[in-house]
Structure 1
Amino acid sequence: MVERKEFIQNSLELNLFFGRIMKEHMTFIQASLPVKNSNYILEADEFKRSFEGLLMETVNIANGTISKEVIASKELATPFTLDAERILEDLTGVCINRDLTLAELKLISDPDYEFTPYIENYVFNLNNRYINLLQELIDFKERLLVQFMDCNIFMFIYPNMLDHLIKEGKYYLKSLSALQEKRIPMEDILEKEVFWNDIMGEHAQYIRGLLDPTEKQLFKTADSFVHLFEKLLKETKEADEEDFCKVTNKNLEATKDIKEFKTSGTEGIIQCKIKSIINPLLADHTLREANRYIRILKKALNNC
């Protein structure tokens, strides 16, 4: 049974992280659809604005409630996020609410914060609004994927990447629904590591595939991460409790390494030093996901 403080804190941290991830998915979809599909572009924009509205509300109530570890991890925003948003907006014309990022960068953790029944009830209702919006969002992504796979529309992203966006949405929905029932999701830490290893490996695949062919060294590095996380995914799936500490340590070291790769890549893309068709916000987006995974792994290793 999740206690009040844990429920409020976990809910707000989950929504701050994944709510931003979801609204950025819509940004990427908007930027990848041809003008001919203006109906889908407008639908994606409506979802993006809805998530931005919920996120601003979440930021306002989350100030003081979230843990110092989440703030320190830079999973909510990195030093690159504002620049990445500005550049993508300038290059594509897709509107992004940068005030939201500014507000997130000012979030603090207050050890004396009072987790009242009123806040608990407010967060419960907020979670329900996220769940309703998320269910509609997943349906939208799945409709797009069907149209894409049937060759009825064209998008400047891989079909597998669109499936990746669906996968993340469903994981978020599962996690948030479990919190609403005041329980921790049934999965154990190794199951979480299976999910995130799969995500990290797919990130490496997309980076590899979106680099200019002349970026041979970066291609080789990305390819090495593809194979590394394929191996770690297999090992983690086969691991049992006795293997936990060893496997989790290996996952942590690999994720630290890909974080450094993503950090230098994000900086290089923002500074226009890397030839690719990777948009800067996508690069920063994948970096934040690595930051979150590292925090999860470090917390898990406290039990070793």
Structure 2
Amino acid sequence: MQTWKGLIFALYFLNYWYLNKPPCSYPFTKVRLLGGNYMADVFVSRSLEEIRFWSRIMKEHSFFLRLGFRSEDTQLINEANHFYRTFEAIEQKAHSFPEETDPAVICTFNQEVHTAASHIWVFKRKVLGLILTCRLPGQTNFPLLVDHVSREARYFRNRLEELNQGKLEPLQDAIIDENVFFLRIMADHAKFIGHLLDPSERKLVEQARDFSHDFDQLLYQARDMDSMRPQSQTAPLLNQFLDQNRVSVASLKDFKKTARDLIEQCKIKSIIHPLLADHVFREAERFLEIIEMFERSLTGVSGGVNPAFHH
């Protein structure tokens, strides 16, 4: 069992060492905790876990954007197809690596994926610009949805940078930053669901709007916590912050699961693609896992990778 202090020391050592070294030059073999190369294992497993999750998300974004383009938008369709194939290949490659892969190999892979994430971010922002300047009349991608998926691409890109650079954000900062990001994502999801359900599905539309309002309020509270830093970063306040968000995210996750199942069974009227319904469910599931990981860290209970390393 690795100690919390040992992990913190190793992470700070990597962060300090990296300041004077180029990317992908980690001294993994020099960081040994209790006789084991623990940090190398953490780096490899965390990198692969991030890429496996987010490459699938990026792949699906490409598919959703393509669905919203007009038939005459052949260049945009071709670009979306290119990104779909790119991230499909990345996803497959990430699953092919065993956990004991050399960290230097994973570091190089992270850089390759970082490039792809940067490129799809540029593509998404280009599409958003075309929509907002009314150059794609009749296309069906909401501007907020395109902004939403570009924020996720930027988040993914930043995760890869932080992994390769060995950055360690203090736990208290990571808690607020991750929640600010994901609470907005959840609020967006509720808005999209409410607009893509058929208006005749009055009860579900009302539920989606209620979730949208609830998560807007949680986001405002998170931004207040952010602006009150560092005084707001006491253990009691952060624990209450996480507990409140966990309850709401769990409720939204259940709503998304119900909606997904009903859509797959053709029991409700909507224009929501079944894959989109599953997509937003998986993102809620991930946010919930992150919250629970932070809660374990605040209470000093070992529960896997240090969330600060995640962020």
- Pick the TM interval, shorter chain: 0.7 to 0.9
User: Structure 2 residue aligned with 1:283, among 273, 277, 285?
Assistant: 277
1:27 aligns with 2:63: yes
Letter paired with 1:251: N
Letter paired with 2:58: M
Letter paired with 1:28: F
In 2, Cα distance between the equivalents of 1:5 and 1:185?
A: 19
Letter paired with 1:8: V
Q: Which residue of 1 aligns with 2:288?
A: 294
Q: Which residue of 2 aligns with 1:71?
A: none
1:151 aligns with 2:134: yes
How many Å apart are 1:278 and its aligned residue? Answer: 0.9
In 1, Cα distance between the equivalents of 2:169 and 2:53?
A: 17
1:168 aligns with 2:152: yes
Q: Which residue of 2 aligns with 1:12?
A: 48
Preserved CA contact (<8 Å) 1:179 1:185: no
Identity of aligned residues (%): 30
Structure 2: 5+ residue stretches without partners: 1-10, 15-38, 226-231, 300-311
Preserved CA contact (<8 Å) 1:138 1:170: yes
SS of the residue aligned with 1:188?
Answer: helix
Preserved CA contact (<8 Å) 1:178 1:185: no
TM-score, normalised to structure 2, is 0.78
Preserved CA contact (<8 Å) 1:174 1:185: no
Q: Which residue of 1 aligns with 2:267?
A: 273
CA radius of gyration, larger in = 2
1:4-41: CA deviation from partner (whole Å, max 9, x where unpaired): 11111111111011111111000001111111001110
In 1, Cα distance between the equivalents of 2:290 and 2:118?
A: 25
SS of the residue aligned with 2:200?
Answer: coil
1:233 aligns with 2:269: no
User: Structure 2 residue aligned with 1:123, among 85, 96, 106?
Assistant: 106
1:211 aligns with 2:183: no
How many residue pairs were aligned? 251
Structure 1: 5+ residue stretches without partners: 66-114
Letter paired with 1:199: I
1:138 aligns with 2:121: yes
Letter paired with 2:193: I
Q: Which residue of 2 aligns with 1:75?
A: none
How many Å apart are 1:168 and its aligned residue? Answer: 0.6
How many Å apart are 1:290 and its aligned residue? Answer: 0.5
SS of the residue aligned with 2:257?
Answer: helix
Q: Which residue of 1 aligns with 2:23?
A: none
SS of the residue aligned with 1:157?
Answer: coil
In 1, Cα distance between the equivalents of 2:269 and 2:154?
A: 33
How many Å apart are 1:46 and its aligned residue? Answer: 0.7
In 1, Cα distance between the equivalents of 2:127 and 2:224?
A: 34
Mean Cα deviation higher: 290-299 or 179-188:
179-188
1:86-131: CA deviation from partner (whole Å, max 9, x where unpaired): xxxxxxxxxxxxxxxxxxxxxxxxxxxxx3xx52111111101101
1:198-239: CA deviation from partner (whole Å, max 9, x where unpaired): 100110000011110100000111011011111111112223
Letter paired with 1:151: C
Preserved CA contact (<8 Å) 1:22 1:169: yes
How many Å apart are 1:185 and its aligned residue? Answer: 5.0
> Could you say what the CA RMSD is over the residues aligned between the two structures, in angstroms?
1.3
SS of the residue aligned with 2:292?
Answer: helix
TM-score, normalised to structure 1, is 0.80
In 2, Cα distance between the equivalents of 1:184 and 1:211?
A: 41
Q: Which residue of 1 aligns with 2:3?
A: none
How many Å apart are 1:184 and its aligned residue? Answer: 3.4
Instruction: Please give the residue correspondences for 1:84-123 in structure 2 after superposition, counting only pairs within 5 Å.
Output: 115=100, 119-123=102-106
How many Å apart are 1:135 and its aligned residue? Answer: 1.1
In 1, Cα distance between the equivalents of 2:135 and 2:169?
A: 37
In 2, Cα distance between the equivalents of 1:156 and 1:219?
A: 19
Q: Which residue of 2 aligns with 1:248?
A: 242
